[in-house]
């Protein structure tokens, strides 16, 4: 415990030094790590993170500093053993994009129509290609901006594991969980946690299944580490059967749920 306290203090001091020599991104990463190690820097960290929020397409994007974190855990999901990884900084949408938000957008895709002309609001989940189509349309509106993509599962987990470091489960980066499942861009493989790269890991390049995160039916504190696999048509293969409502029947929200990210 004493070593952790010393480490937090050192990272806090390092943040100050980096700020003085004009390296604000590295300074914020050091401050974030000091907080995650228990350092008394919450107010300072929140002020800096709040100042970095940006708006794109009517969505708020929150800044997540670069740094290490322990991905996975050894007491719940057998295919997600814990390991230390390092991520680059990125921006993530504070809330996932849902159907109603997309329908009301000024820049909505041409294939988004009124509720009485389209079946989408009644869908349990959007197929992967429809989610990618929405992101491609948004990127076409701002071709000079960093492209919006789906998060890797490492990025998704980095964001939501941080909520368990606050007493009231408030996410330090300003990101909220909603009753939905959220696609990631990673293909699923059971041993991906054990074989992935130590820096900015992604899933395998191909496969029948994609990783789905954000299953809120999973109890705390396992929500942030639980991973599910779905086909790109949003169907869940399980024990020789193919189900559409494996998790989604519990949720009142329907339609598109995608949490865009872009590199910092």
For residue 252, the tally of other CB atoms under 10 A from its CB is: 6
- Over residues 228-246, the mean pLDDT reads 77
Query: Which of 14-23, 115-124, 242-251 shows the lowest per-residue confidence on average (mean pLDDT)?
Result: 115-124
Query: What's the confidence (pLDDT) of residue 244?
Result: 62
For the record, the structure tokens of 260 come out as: 């865009």
Residue with tokens 């129509």: 113
* CA-wise closest residue to 107 among 136, 78, 144: 136
Phi/psi for 220 (5° steps) reads: -70, 150
Sign of the torsion angle spanned by Cα atoms 190, 195, 200, 205 = negative
169-180, pLDDT tens digit by residue? 889 999 987 766
CB 26 within 8 A of CB 18: yes
Among left, alpha and beta (phi > 0; psi -120 to 50; other), residue 262 is beta
How high is the pLDDT of residue 250?
A: 43
């Amino acid at each position: 415990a004493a070593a952790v306290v010393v480490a937090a203090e050192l990272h806090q001091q390092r943040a100050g030094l980096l700020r003085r020599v004009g390296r604000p991104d590295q300074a914020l990463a050091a401050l974030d790590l000091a907080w995650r190690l228990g350092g008394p820097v919450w107010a300072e960290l929140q002020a800096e993170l709040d100042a970095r929020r940006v708006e794109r397409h009517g969505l708020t994007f929150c800044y997540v500093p670069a740094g290490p974190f322990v991905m996975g855990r050894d007491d719940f999901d057998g295919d997600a053993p814990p390991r230390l990884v390092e991520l680059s900084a990125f921006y993530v949408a504070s809330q996932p994009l849902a159907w109603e938000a997309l329908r009301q957008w000024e820049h909505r895709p041409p294939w988004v129509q009124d509720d009485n002309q389209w079946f989408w609001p009644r869908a349990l989940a959007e197929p992967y290609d429809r989610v990618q189509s929405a992101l491609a349309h948004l990127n076409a509106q701002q071709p000079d901006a960093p492209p919006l993509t789906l998060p890797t599962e490492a990025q998704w987990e980095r964001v939501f594991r941080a909520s368990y470091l606050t007493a009231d489960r408030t996410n330090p980066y300003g990101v909220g969980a909603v009753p939905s499942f959220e696609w990631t861009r990673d293909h699923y493989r059971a041993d991906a946690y054990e074989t992935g790269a130590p820096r900015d890991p992604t899933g395998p390049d191909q496969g029948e299944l994609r990783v789905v995160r954000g299953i809120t039916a999973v109890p705390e504190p396992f929500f942030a580490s639980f991973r599910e696999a779905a086909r790109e048509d949003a169907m869940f293969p399980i024990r020789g059967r193919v189900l559409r409502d494996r998790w989604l029947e519990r949720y009142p929200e329907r339609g598109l749920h995608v949490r865009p990210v872009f590199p910092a």
